[in-house]
């Protein structure tokens, strides 16, 4: 996990894949599927960084939909 100067915590694409136990292509598909509303990453030098707060909020929303 990386900490930005603004205090936000970010995960790399690989860390997101590890978090959800998914492949690179699955992460790509999640990002392209508008129905999932997967958090958009911040891109720096062609590397993607996902805000941990956004991922946690997305997880909570998914839990509501599943219940």
């598909």: which residue's tokens?
Answer: 29
What's the pLDDT score for residue 65?
74
**pLDDT of 3 strictly over 70:** no
Q: Is the model more confident about 55 or about 66? A: 55
- Quickly state the pLDDT bin for 13 (edges 50, 70, 90): very high
Domain count, the chain: 1
CATH classification of the domain holding 18: 1.10.10
- Beta carbons of 2 and 12 less than 8 angstroms apart: yes
**Mean per-residue pLDDT, 39-59:** 96
**Mean per-residue pLDDT, 22-50:** 96
Q: Is the model more confident about 4 or about 62? A: 62
């Amino acid at each position: 996990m990386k900490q930005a100067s603004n205090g936000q915590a970010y995960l790399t694409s690989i860390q997101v894949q590890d978090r959800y136990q998914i492949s690179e292509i699955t992460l790509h598909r999640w990002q392209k599927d508008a129905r999932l509303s997967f958090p958009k990453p911040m891109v720096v030098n062609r590397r993607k960084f996902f805000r941990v707060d956004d991922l946690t909020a997305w997880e909570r929303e998914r839990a509501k939909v599943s219940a």
